Amino acid sequence: MRRNFVKLALKNGGKLKSLVLPTNITNGTGLFNPSVFIDNNGDILVNIRHCQYLFYHSEKKIYEHQWGPLLYMNPENDITLTTTNYLCKLTEDLEIDEIMKIDTSKLDVKPIWQFVGLEDVRLFRWDGILYGSGVRRDTTTNGQGRMELSTLEYDKHGARETHRWRIPAPGQDDTYCEKNWMPILDMPYHFVKWSSPLEIVKVDPLKRTCEIVIQKTQTIPYYYRGGSQVIKLGKYYIALPHIVFLFRSEADKKDAVYQQGFLVWDEEWNLVRHTPPFSFMGADVEFCCGMAEYKENVLITFGYQDNAAFILSVSVGVCVGVTVSVGVCVIVSVGVLEGVVVGETDGVGVGVSVSVGVFVGVSEGVFDGV
């Protein structure tokens, strides 16, 4: 099921910008999985992940390489998958205005596995502290993955990591890989660890603990994992996690399709609505690491094919298919609408209900025909 969300957004007044770093930084290799965050002073911050490889995927299931449809092309003298993160400031027009390589030298140790660095960082503030959180897999010889919580600072001299904590998995801390936990912006030190079924953990950087605080079995036909931060609009929590469809290629090699969908919870963390999985721009490998409310819009950042980074500005209404007349989408700000129930229009938004200016639902038909 391939639904092009970007096309829907642009059709209804959205804006898409590519996030490109100079080639003297990247040597033309991969930029992907950016994370957007609106800082307290109004700065539009984006963390952009750079990795020193090129990624090839056989999108149309043709021209598969002898090693499989998923192929990483590394420099001949470096077969690691090494991540470097760049903290960027954007203009209001979503152009990159300032680029700061995050200096991690104070805390770095020699890696002992081939995936190096903090991967898929999400940006956020808790208790006034700017954090970046992602998975690190270079501290054990078998690549065990754990989420890390890093404190970050930035000023006219650049950006730097000042503290780092490797978060244990809840319970016995005996899982192999923990990744893609979604920070809940208005609940300090809480992450959505799993989306479906829902599992929320609370971490304590002082006591160095992690415990499960909320678990809910929510019956939906999709096994959503993690993705963006969890933002709050009105009385509802919204996230954009991903789902992976794994299968074998014609040559019996591993293949996968990554898609994503919106999830909406109420304040008691009951799942109110969900969308079916969709694509941003029609590729098989896409991934979202960031979402933020900005003025009357939502900013969404995502990676495309591990080779490109994008930021999408879209009205809150488009995110959930809110329409009031044929082909017209509402730009919804919190508190604008009250008790509106919208019917079927133009095959874009079907059966969406809105309360107190915030969406609570979206049907299977939202992306059909796009």
In a domain, 356, yes or no: no
Confidence of residue 370 (pLDDT cuts 50, 70, 90): very low
In a domain, 32, yes or no: yes
Residue with tokens 């700017």: 130
pLDDT at position 219 is 74
Residue with tokens 């642009």: 10
pLDDT at position 189 over 90: yes
pLDDT at position 167 is 98
Q: What is the mean pLDDT of residues 112-134?
A: 97
Q: What are the DSSP calls for 78-97, one per residue?
A: --SEEEEEEEEEE-TTS-EE
Q: What is the mean pLDDT of residues 32-38?
A: 98
* CATH code, 101: 2.115.10.20
In a domain, 347, yes or no: no
Among 194-198, 210-214, 232-236, 365-369, the range of highest mean pLDDT: 210-214
pLDDT digits (tens, 9 = 90+) for 9-28: 898 899 999 999 999 999 99
The tokens describing 148, both together, are 């890390």
The secondary element (H helix, E strand) that includes residue 8 is helix 5-11
The tokens describing 35, both together, are 């994370």
Number of other CB atoms surrounding residue 141 within 10 Å: 8
pLDDT at position 31 is 95
In a domain, 134, yes or no: yes
Residue pair 169/146 in contact by the 8 Å Cβ criterion? yes
Confidence of residue 319 (pLDDT cuts 50, 70, 90): low
In a domain, 52, yes or no: yes
Report the SS3 class of residue 241: strand
Number of other CB atoms surrounding residue 206 within 10 Å: 7
pLDDT at position 89 is 98
The tokens describing 165, both together, are 């904590």
Residue pair 297/314 in contact by the 8 Å Cβ criterion? yes
Whole-number Å distance between alpha carbons of 370 and 365: 10
Higher-confidence residue of 357 and 147: namely 147
Q: How far is CA 78 from CA 81, 112, 115, 253, 324, in A?
A: 8, 14, 11, 24, 54
In a domain, 340, yes or no: no
In a domain, 149, yes or no: yes
pLDDT at position 113 over 70: yes
Q: What is the mean pLDDT of residues 318-324?
A: 45
Look at the chain and report how many structural domains it folds into. 1
The tokens describing 288, both together, are 């979202």
Percent of the chain with pLDDT over 90: 66
Q: How far is CA 244 from CA 178, 190, 222, 223, 322, in A?
A: 16, 24, 10, 8, 27
pLDDT at position 320 is 53
pLDDT at position 123 is 98
Residue with tokens 């919204």: 238
Q: Where are the beta strands (DSSP E) in 117-208?
A: 118-126, 129-136, 146-155, 158-166, 182-183, 190-194, 198-204
Among 46-60, 150-164, 333-347, the range of highest mean pLDDT: 150-164
What domain range includes position 246?
Answer: 5-315
The tokens describing 317, both together, are 């209404």
pTM of the model: 0.86
Q: Give 324's contacts (C-beta < 8 A, 6+ positions apart).
A: 330, 342, 345
Q: What is the mean pLDDT of the chain?
A: 85
Tell me 12's DSSP state: T
In a domain, 184, yes or no: yes
- In whole angstroms, what separates CA 64 from the centre of its chain? 28
Please give the torsion angle defined by the CA atoms of residues 220, 226, 227 and 230, in that order, rounded to the nearest 10 degrees: 80
